[in-house]
Amino acid sequence: MGGQEEKKKVTEVKTFPVPFALGEIKENITINTNISSKLSELSKGQIINQAIQFHAQGNIQKAAKYYQYFIDQGFKDPRVLANYGVILKGFGNSQEAELLYRKAIELNPNFADAHYNLGNTLRDLGKLKEAELSYRKAIEISPNYANTLYNLGTILSDLGKLQDAEFSYRQAIIINPNYTEAHYNLGNTLRDLGKLKDAELSYRKAIKISPNYAKVHCNLGTILRDLGKLKDAELYTRKAIQLNPDFAEAYSNLGNILSDLGNLKEAEISQKKTIELKPDCAEAHSNLGNILRDLGKLKDAELSYRKAIEISPNYANAHSNLGNILRDLGKLKGAELSYRKAIEISPNYANAHYNLGNILKDIGNFGDALKQFKQALKLNNELSLAKYALIITKGKICDWSDEVTHNIWLKSLGIQGKSIEPLGLFPLEDNPSNHLKRSKNYYIENFTRPSKCIQSYEKNIIHIGYFSADFRTHPVMQMLAPLIEIHDKSRFKIYLYSLAKKEDEYTERAKMSGCIFKNITELNDIEAVELARSDKLDIAVDLMGYTRNNRMPIFSYRVAPIQINYLGFPGSTGSDTIDYIIGDNITIPRENEKFYTEKIIRMPNCFLCDDNKKEISKESICRKDFNLPDQGFIFTCFNENYKITKKEFNIWMNLLIKIEGSVLWLYKSNQCSMNNLYKEARKRKVNPDRLIFAERLAMNKHLPRHSLGDLALDTFNYNGGATTSCALLAGLPVLTKIGQSFMARVSASLLSSIGLSELITYSESEYEEKALYIANNPKEILRLKSKLNKLKETSTLFNSELFTRDLESKFIELVK
């Protein structure tokens, strides 16, 4: 009976359902009668030797049959179990492989290879902690096995134990110094640990051992990019592509590097190549969106982000990037929804909280905006953009509660680390050196483009192009209007390149000025540059700088041999493609030229000229019309509330306390700023009813109400520009304190130009004393108003014709 059972067992066909997707075997492992008969003639040792020989020769199918027969016979040998486990794992049958390795270890607990292979299998099954234990046991038995140390490193890395992973890789390298993969993965771990220079060394060592390893070249390029070595990064990434022309990830990385270098056209091509090789790579679509955004192709960028989200609906970064584009396109509700989706997917995504805060700020929801900025900083306390946003949002609503912290941040914000848009900090700091550093960093990080040398064209008429998103009802256009109308069209061909999304009566005035008006809002940056270059400009004037909706890349590419910063941005752009800035001897004294990358065009009088055609309504008005008291001295400040700091406000409240019955008439920026200023007044023992806020009015109605004021009080760090000019035009004296920065000297320039230098003060104490003196001396205020009304009739400040001719003379000098 026993013999018959043995024979039946041998001749029975055994089939093992093995998925062959990972191997080259195309049929099931079977043991038929012929094979069993042959094997029955061999000894146990011979079967093992034959199986191992077939295994070593690559005859996996035959080796598997021998191993299976051996097991079926009830023989027990840990080598057979382990080797058969390797085959089954290769076929993708990891669960059966795991059982075989565990049986092998039961037979021989010190079988290092079995522990090692069990670790590999457990890793494939996603049992990472168990895999770690298996590798550690293998190392305990055989400490000098480099492969085990290497594999342990990969598991530890996957488990987030980066320092332990680093140690494991280094141990593997000590045993085998030429272990390319260990150097490569050590580099990856060091990168994740933030040890970028060490990671660079590891990648370079891997390349030295294996010069044709494309992956290492690609990762070295990534590290070099992170280290700011963009040219070297480009070189190594291109080498990766040379070694592997179908390396999609390398094309994507190259696109990012080229984007950083400002080579956006090439970057776009590179990202599109990634998508060609890997159409479902969501990251490549998102990266392409970033490049298209930088090119000004906003609608195409939107499509790219939406494609990334279609491929990967939980791609938080793509949702956040889509929000950025929708914000640029003015679709604020859609942007808000995108940011909220990014946060829903990734609640700890600091940048998404920051971006959502910006949208909430834009729509006037300041309280929730501040919460988002604070949450962003809680998640990443080094996020410069969130610090910046928190500061300017609090400034916008006159919330000075965190002034000490903000002053600490100001010392390095935008100067070290991530750049920030410099304009927002102008009201908080009168430091032209810091303003320049921030502008330089902002330009380099955001607007570096491959600039083209533009040659001058010989012609009888000088071509001048003015670029602005403010050819509409805006202070810039309100002051610029007479200039473009008066320009001598027989000597100058004037182009107005409008970026205004909305047009109004001032836009119509620009169109009727005799200039060539071109709306380039729908053109991307490259198209706008090509259009402007085709007009053969001699001089291009940027009226925006870093103000909202600017198109600085147009000037970075260069559209004219001479490019000028004027009017919109009261400071240096920090750009190497903006050649000049228009100022005067007061806004930019000789000793301050070092704070400008631009050369200075010094106007003989003031750097700006207001519109002498502004209409002042003749309708009868009185104090009651504007909720002003019938009696008492009226101080005014119609500057935006964000320009007000504690320093001015302290002085203003002192004045109200000392001048009985006086009031402060302020511009109403937003309800939050009003509430906070009321609160600050109470803190200083001033009845908040003595603060009266003026609603926005059309210019012809705004100007006459100045006559109800007695003295305008200027803000310190960021003076009134158009505001001061309007006050002077309407006959209201303005008291200012001159500072160091361009924007802190604007009112001084205006007052000097009109002939009221006695209203320029040089310290806070002098400012307060002079305001107090004027308010206490009715004759003095009458004298100042009388003098102003006489001077404005003859002053160069409101002589548009003279200003235009002076500016034209400067332009002629430049092109000679």
The predicted model gives 671-695 an average pLDDT of: 98
pLDDT of residue 617: 85
Say if 617 falls within a structural domain: no
Total Cβ atoms within 10 A of residue 137: 21
pLDDT of residue 34: 55
Say if 196 falls within a structural domain: yes
Q: What are phi and psi of 664, to 5 degrees?
A: -115, 120
Please indicate, yes or no, whether residues 286 and 209 belong to a single structural domain of this protein.
Answer: no
The pLDDT confidence band at residue 1, using thresholds 50, 70 and 90, is: very low
The pLDDT confidence band at residue 98, using thresholds 50, 70 and 90, is: confident
pLDDT of residue 36: 60
Q: What is the pLDDT of residues 223-280, one digit of tens each?
A: 999 999 999 999 999 999 999 999 999 999 999 999 999 899 999 999 999 999 999 9
The pLDDT confidence band at residue 56, using thresholds 50, 70 and 90, is: confident
Q: What are phi and psi of 143, to 5 degrees?
A: -65, -20
Q: What is the pLDDT of residues 294-308, one digit of tens each?
A: 999 999 999 999 999
Considering its fold, how many domains does the chain have in total?
4
pLDDT reading at 15 higher than 70:
no
pLDDT of residue 602: 98
Q: Among 419-433, 556-570, 608-622, name the one with the lowest average pLDDT.
A: 608-622
Q: Among 14-18, 84-88, 653-657, name the one with the lowest average pLDDT.
A: 14-18
CB 182 within 8 A of CB 154: no
The predicted model gives 152-177 an average pLDDT of: 95
The predicted model gives 49-63 an average pLDDT of: 71
pLDDT of residue 75: 66
Say if 645 falls within a structural domain: yes
pLDDT reading at 4 higher than 50:
no
Say if 579 falls within a structural domain: yes
Total Cβ atoms within 10 A of residue 326: 22
Please indicate, yes or no, whether residues 467 and 442 belong to a single structural domain of this protein.
Answer: no
Share of the chain above pLDDT 70, in %: 93
pLDDT reading at 691 higher than 70:
yes
pLDDT reading at 51 higher than 80:
no
Which residue among 424, 447, 470 closes a domain? 447
Say if 268 falls within a structural domain: no
Domain that holds residue 659: 624-798
Please indicate, yes or no, whether residues 231 and 100 belong to a single structural domain of this protein.
Answer: yes
The pLDDT confidence band at residue 77, using thresholds 50, 70 and 90, is: confident
pLDDT of residue 183: 97
Please indicate, yes or no, whether residues 168 and 226 belong to a single structural domain of this protein.
Answer: yes
Task: Enter the DSSP assignment of 744.
Answer: G
Share of the chain above pLDDT 90, in %: 81
Q: What is the pLDDT of residues 769-813, one digit of tens each?
A: 999 999 999 999 999 999 999 999 889 999 999 999 999 999 999
The span from the CA of 172 to the CA of 478, in Å, is 72
Say if 816 falls within a structural domain: no
Please indicate, yes or no, whether residues 342 and 418 belong to a single structural domain of this protein.
Answer: yes
pLDDT of residue 47: 64
Please indicate, yes or no, whether residues 782 and 640 belong to a single structural domain of this protein.
Answer: yes
pLDDT reading at 80 higher than 90:
no
The predicted model gives 135-162 an average pLDDT of: 94
Please indicate, yes or no, whether residues 579 and 693 belong to a single structural domain of this protein.
Answer: no
List of E strands, 567-703: 580-583, 599-602, 634-637, 663-667, 691-694
Please indicate, yes or no, whether residues 430 and 510 belong to a single structural domain of this protein.
Answer: no
The span from the CA of 714 to the CA of 651, in Å, is 11
pLDDT reading at 632 higher than 70:
yes
Please indicate, yes or no, whether residues 55 and 174 belong to a single structural domain of this protein.
Answer: yes
The span from the CA of 351 to the CA of 341, in Å, is 13
Say if 274 falls within a structural domain: no
Say if 263 falls within a structural domain: no
Please indicate, yes or no, whether residues 90 and 29 belong to a single structural domain of this protein.
Answer: yes
Please indicate, yes or no, whether residues 343 and 479 belong to a single structural domain of this protein.
Answer: no
Question: What pTM value is reported for the model?
Answer: 0.84
Q: What is the pLDDT of residues 340-360, one digit of tens each?
A: 999 999 999 999 999 999 999
pLDDT reading at 24 higher than 50:
no
| DSSP annotation string for 356-396 | HHHHHHHTT-HHHHHHHHHHHHHH-TT-HHHHHHHHHHHHH
pLDDT reading at 12 higher than 50:
no
Which residue among 569, 602, 635 closes a domain? 602
- CATH assignment of the domain containing 139: 1.25.40.10
- CATH assignment of the domain containing 682: 3.40.50.2000
CB 615 within 8 A of CB 634: no
Please indicate, yes or no, whether residues 98 and 51 belong to a single structural domain of this protein.
Answer: yes
Sign of CA dihedral 393, 399, 400, 405: negative
The mean of the pLDDT values for the chain is 91
pLDDT reading at 8 higher than 90:
no
3-class secondary structure, 430: coil
Which residue among 553, 569, 602 closes a domain? 602
Q: What is the pLDDT of residues 745-768, one digit of tens each?
A: 999 999 999 999 999 999 999 999
* HSE-up of residue 792 (Cα within 13 Å, Cβ side): 21
